[in-house]
Structure 1
Amino acid sequence: MKLYEYAIRRTLLLVPVLIGVTILTFYLSRIVLNPLGAYVTERTPPELIPAIEKKLGLDKPFYVQYAYYLRDLITMDWGWSKVAHMPVLEALMYRFPATVELAVTAFLITIALGIPLGILSALKNNTLIDHIIRIIALTGISIPVFWLGLTLQYTFSYWLKTNGLPSLPSSGRVDPVLLQAHPVNRITGLMILDSLIQGNFIVALDAISHIILPSITLAFLNIGVVTRVARSSMLEVLRQDYITTARAYGLPRRIVIYKYALKNAMIPVATISGLMFGGLLGGAVITETIFAFPGMGQLTVMAITFNDSNTILAFTVLACFIYVFVNLAVDIIYAWLDPRIKY
C-alpha cells in the first residue's frame, strides 16, 4: 500500500471516531450539563422555559435532538455564549489565536530544551550529567502546573519587582495602556506577529514579555516528557547493530551520532511531539486561567463558572477535533519518516 492510500484509509477511519465524539458530547449536553444554561438565568420567568425548550428542540425525542445537534455542528451554528455575549463560534475564533500563540511558544521551548537534554542524557548515560537531567525531567513531569505557575508569578513578577529588579508581567497578553497608545490592527490575531508585521516593536516586545511565564509553565511538563522519550529512544538506537558496525569501520563518533543515530532516534520524539502540540492547541485551561491569558482555555473556565453549556460543549468538540486531526497528521508523518512501517 502506498503512502497516499494509507493516508486516505486513516482519514476514513476518523469518521467513526468523530461520530463517537459527537455522541459523547451530545450525551454530556443532555445528561451532565443543562442545555438551557446559556439561555436561562435566575431572572427568566418560569412560564418562558417551555417556549425556550421548544425553540431549541429539547421537547423532541433524543434521536431527533441528536440530528439537530449534528446539523448545528456541521453548519457551525453553535449557539450563543452567555459569558462572551456573542455567538459561540465567534467567541472561540476570537480567542483561538491567543491559544495558538501560547501553544506554539510553549512547543518551541519544549523542543529546544527537551530534545538536546534527552540526547545529552543518553550520550552521558549513567554519569552525573545523566542523573541531573533525569531528575529535571522527573521534576517537570511531577510538578503540578498550577503550583509552577503561581511560583513563577511570585518569583519573577512580585519578588523581583519588590526588590527593585527587572520583572516580568504576571498576567494578560499585552499592557492595555501601551496598546491604546500604540494600537495594533488585528490581521492574524497573533499579537506578536501582527505587531511585527506593522513595525510596532514596542507592543511586540511587551507581548513577548507577557508570554514568557505562561509558555514556560506550559512547556515545563512537556520538556520532561520529551527528554525522557528522546533519552530512551537514543539509548535504544545506540545499541543497534548498524551503529556498532559504523563504529567498527572507524567513523568519527560525531558522524555516527548525528548522521546515523539521531535521525532514527527522533521518530518516537516526532510522534509524541505532534500529539503534545495537539493537546496544547486544545487549550491550556489551567495556565491561561492562572495568568489571565485571554485564550480559549480561560473562556471555558468562565463558561463553567456561569453554566454556559454552549461554550463548554463547543470547546470540548473543537479540542477533540483538533487532537484527532493532529493525531492523523502524526501517523502519516511517522509512516513517511520510517520506511519500516507497514502501511
Structure 2
Amino acid sequence: MPHHVMEDGEGLPVPNRIVAKPVRKTGQIVAAVIVALLAAMLLHGLITNPRFEWNVVWKYLFNERVLSGVGYTLLLTVISMVVAIILAVILAIMRKSVNPVLRGVSWFFIWFFRGTPVYTQLVFWGLFAVLIPKLSLGIPFTSIEFWSVDSKTVITAFNAAWIGLALNEAAYLSEIVRAGLEAVDPGQTEAAQALGMKRAQIMRRVVLPQAMRIIIPPTGNETIGMLKTTSLVLAVPFTLELQFATNAIANRIYKPIPLLLVAAIWYLFITSIMMVLQSRLEKHFGKGYEARPVGSSAKTPLPGKTDGEPKDDVAKTNEAIFTGLNA
C-alpha cells in the first residue's frame, strides 16, 4: 500500500505524515446561530419599542447642557487619573523602600482609601470646609501663622470632586504599579547597579520603562472605570457632570428613560475611544515582546535538522504574567 508523501513549508518530502481531518464544529455553529438570533431580537426590541422614545434621545443628544456635562466628565477623568498615576508611582516606590516609615505611610494610605467607599470619601471632601474652615502655614503646635486662607476658596466643589477621585484611585493604581515593578527581572537592577547607576536612575531608565508593558492594560481599565465613577461626584456635591446633567433634564421633562439612553450613548462613545487609545499604548510599550518567527520563516534555518524534517518552527511568543487590582 503506497504511503502518502507530503511536503513541509520548504518543499521537502516528509514521509508517513498523518493527514488529519478537521473536527466538525456543529456545536459552535448552533451556538453562533442562537446568539445571533438573540442579538437580532434585542436590537429589534430596542428599535421598535415606543417607550424608548428615540425621537427624544436624538433631540437631547447634543443638548448644550449635555455637551457641557460631557466636557466636565472628561475633565474630571483626566485630572483625577493624572494625579492618581503620579501618586500611585510614588506610593509604589515607597512600598519598595528600605525606609520603614515610608513603607508604613504607603501601606496606611492604601489600606484607608481602598477600605472605604469612594462615595463616603467624596461626602467628606464635600464637607471639608465645615471640618477645616481655614488652611494655614506656620509653626506646628503653636498659634504662629505665616499664611492662611479660607477653605471654601480653595476646596471648591470641582476641586473636592477630583481630589476625592484621585486619592481613591491612587490607592488601587499603586498596587498595579507595584505589581509591574516586581515583574521586572531583578537582574536588570543588578546590571544597572554594576554600571554605577543610582537608585533613582535605575527606576526611571531601567525598571519603569519595562514595567509599563505590565502596567498599561489594567491602568486603561481603571481609566475607563474612572470615567463612570465621575457620576458619583453628586456626593460633593458637584452638579455639572454628564449624569447629573441628563438627570436634571429628565426631571424637568418627566422622561427618564430617553435621557438615560443619552448618557449611555455618550459613555459608550467615550469608552470606545479610550479602548482604542489603550490598544495603541499597549502596542507601543509591547514592542520587542511580540511574536517572532524563528527558523526558515525568519530566514534563519535552525541547525540540527535532518533531511525530511521541517526546517521551520512555529512562531513563538514571549508571555508576561501580571497582576492588577481593579476597583
Do they superpose with TM above 0.5? yes
What residue in structure 2 maps to residue 335 of structure 1? 283
- Paired residue for 1:36, among 51, 70, 93? 51
For the pair 1:122 / 2:96, whether they are aligned, the reply is yes
Q: Give the superposition deviation at 1:309.
A: 0.9
- In 1: Cα distance, 2:50 partner to 2:235 partner: 24
Alignment gaps of 5+ in structure 1: 1-18, 38-55, 57-68, 81-86, 170-205
What residue in structure 1 maps to residue 10 of structure 2? none
Q: Give the superposition deviation at 1:318.
A: 2.0
Check conservation: 1:168, 1:210, Cα contact below 8 A. no
What residue in structure 2 maps to residue 266 of structure 1? 212
TM-score, reference length from structure 1: 0.58
Q: Which has the higher helix share?
A: 1
Larger radius of gyration: 2
Residues 1-343 of structure 1 mapped to structure 2, 5 A cutoff: 36=51, 78-80=57-59, 87-90=60-63, 91-124=65-98, 127-154=100-127, 156-161=128-133, 166-169=149-152, 209-237=156-184, 239-282=185-228, 284-302=230-248, 306-342=254-290
Q: Over residues 40-86 of structure 1, what are the superposed CA-to-partner deviations in whole Å (9 max), with x where a residue is unaligned?
A: xxxxxxxxxxxxxxxx6xxxxxxxxxxxx7xx8xxxx8334xxxxxx
Q: Give the superposition deviation at 1:23.
A: 7.6
What residue in structure 2 maps to residue 53 of structure 1? none
Check conservation: 1:111, 1:226, Cα contact below 8 A. yes
What SS does the aligned partner of 2:62 have?
helix
- In 1: Cα distance, 2:172 partner to 2:192 partner: 30
- In 2: Cα distance, 1:88 partner to 1:289 partner: 25
Q: Over residues 250-290 of structure 1, what are the superposed CA-to-partner deviations in whole Å (9 max), with x where a residue is unaligned?
A: 44333322211122123333333333333333461111354
Q: Give the superposition deviation at 1:296.
A: 0.2
CA separation of 1:207/1:260 partners in 2, compared to 1, >3 Å: closer, same or farther? same
What residue in structure 2 maps to residue 61 of structure 1? none
Q: Give the superposition deviation at 1:92.
A: 2.1
Letter of the structure 2 residue corresponding to residue 104 of structure 1: V
Q: Over residues 107-143 of structure 1, what are the superposed CA-to-partner deviations in whole Å (9 max), with x where a residue is unaligned?
A: 2221221211112222348x34223312311322221
- In 1: Cα distance, 2:210 partner to 2:285 partner: 9
Equivalenced residue count is 240
CA separation of 1:208/1:268 partners in 2, compared to 1, >3 Å: closer, same or farther? farther
Q: Give the superposition deviation at 1:227.
A: 0.9
Q: Give the superposition deviation at 1:223.
A: 0.6
- In 1: Cα distance, 2:130 partner to 2:235 partner: 18
Q: Give the superposition deviation at 1:151.
A: 1.5
Letter of the structure 1 residue corresponding to residue 163 of structure 2: I
Superposition RMSD in Å:
3.7
CA separation of 1:28/1:107 partners in 2, compared to 1, >3 Å: closer, same or farther? farther
Check conservation: 2:126, 2:236, Cα contact below 8 A. no
Q: Give the superposition deviation at 1:301.
A: 4.3
Q: Give the superposition deviation at 1:162.
A: 9.3
What residue in structure 2 maps to residue 48 of structure 1? none
TM-score, reference length from structure 2: 0.61
